[in-house]
Amino acid sequence: MMFEEPTYLIQFGYSGQTLVRRAMEDDYADGVILSPSDYEYGDTISLARDVNRNDGVVLFDPQYYIPRTERPASNSYPYFKQSGGDDFETVVVTNNKNRRELCEQIWEVQNEIDVDAYIAPARFLDTFSDTKLTQWELLTKTFVEVVEDKDPGAKIFASLPVAGASINDDEQRSKLLDIVTKVDLTGFYVSVEYPRYRQNPIFGFEEVKAYLDLLKNLRYNWYDVVLGHSDQIAHLGFGLGINAFGSGHYKNTRAFDTDRWIPQDSGGGSAGVYWYYSEPLMNEMQVEQDMQALYSSNSFSLDKLRLKNPTSPFARELFVREPEDPEWTYKNDSWDHYIWSCHQIAKEYRGLTLEERITRTQENLRNAAEVYSEIEETIGPRENIQSEIYEDWTAAFDSTLSDRDINVIGRVMP
């Protein structure tokens, strides 16, 4: 087991080194998941050293499932320079010699960064066709072979970037699980991509259930699981006995979103964050539309929100004064607060048995629904977020866990 207790890993790019260092020094993060598109190679190594010095976990997602990126940072990594950008072709994955060379380069980079566990490159699985699954399997197995040759006994996570639409189909999900669970490794770094309208947060009983079922089955098979780019859904993950999630962007509510790496995408994942939550949003699973609506309403009370989270070291700085503009006044501290809040999610599940975790998740879901009701009473139904979302999450979570499931997962827990 890599993660013995609930853990939060920062996934933060775009000049966020200072935030990461501050969070590690002040102990409100457990580690990082770095990536080639965030920082140049030298900066990544330097940041990893600092995280290690603070006893933090360092993982590096090689992001080879996002080919053809034109982000300049990626090209400072040898494997992207030689096999990425405009020169990338998926044939790299299918040719034995090229694949081995690519995996060796990716291993070397992660070794130089001094990661605590390796993450394999992966074929992006937007469908589970035989071809794509075979390419995923070949790439993952080759990487495992390389690590076993170079660093026997090292921990290895397979990257599992999948499309939400594909895991919704029970048969397809089983097909995926049959293939991926054949690989002998420490665990999976899971990222599920949903259409943007479904991301903030994910909604729909079937969608949530399918996602949880995937996670549950990986856990069943004794794999460690890291939820990439997740925050609110981490509550459900911890309730399933999963012990690690990564997030660093308030919009990463359940997705890793390859589209945002398309160079023409003006958003580029770097849009400013002007809305924020002073209450522990993840604990109550609020969404930004609610907050924006609250702010816009006549009955809005800044203090009401601020006072709900008296323990955050950053909450006071978030809203220095009653904002007069139609948007929240942006404060740099909002990022620190976000990271701190994510860490609180992990902390609140520590030391709990599986049954206690399940109860905690269910309580948090009930709280979220109640807060939503309060908001609805104050400002009316929300246009973008339906109240059913909370019922969907609760129903999906409850339907995922039978008594047998609890017994099996309970045995897997450290």
Partner 1 sequence: MKIGVISDIHSNSVALDAVLSQPDIQSADTIYCAGDLVGYYSRPNEVVERICKERIPSVMGNHDNAVVESTPSSFSLHAKRAVDWNRRSLTETNLGFLDALPLRIREIVSNRDLLVVHGSPKNPLSEYIFKEDVDELFLDFYFDVPPDVIVMGHTHQPFVKSVRNTLVVNPGSVGQPRDRDPRASYGIIDLDSLNCRIHRVEYDIEKIAEDTSRELPKALSDRLYEGR
- Positions in the binding site for partner 1 (CB under 8 A): 67-68, 70, 86, 89-91, 126-127, 129-132, 163, 165-166, 258, 261-262, 264
Select 157 or 261, whichever has its Cβ closest to partner 1: 261
CA angle 159, 164, 165 (to 5 degrees): 135
Which residue number, 99 or 216, has a Cβ lying nearer to partner 1? 99
* Residue 187 CB, nearest approach to partner 1 (Å): 26
Looking at the Cβ atoms of 165 and 408, the one nearer to partner 1 is 165
Q: Which of 257, 263, 250 is nearest to 341 (CA)?
A: 250
**Identity of the residue, 5 or 70, whose beta carbon is nearer to partner 1 in the bound complex:** 70
Distance from first CA to last CA of the chain, Å, rounded? 7
Nearer to partner 1, 74 or 334 (CB): 74
Q: How far is the CB of 19 from partner 1 (least distance, A)?
A: 29
The minimum distance between CB 80 and partner 1, in angstroms, equals: 15
At its nearest, how many Å lie between partner 1 and the CB of residue 241? 31
The least CB distance from residue 34 to partner 1, in Å, is 23
- Please, what is the minimum distance in Å from the beta carbon of residue 102 to partner 1? 16
Cβ closer to partner 1: 176 or 409? Answer: 176
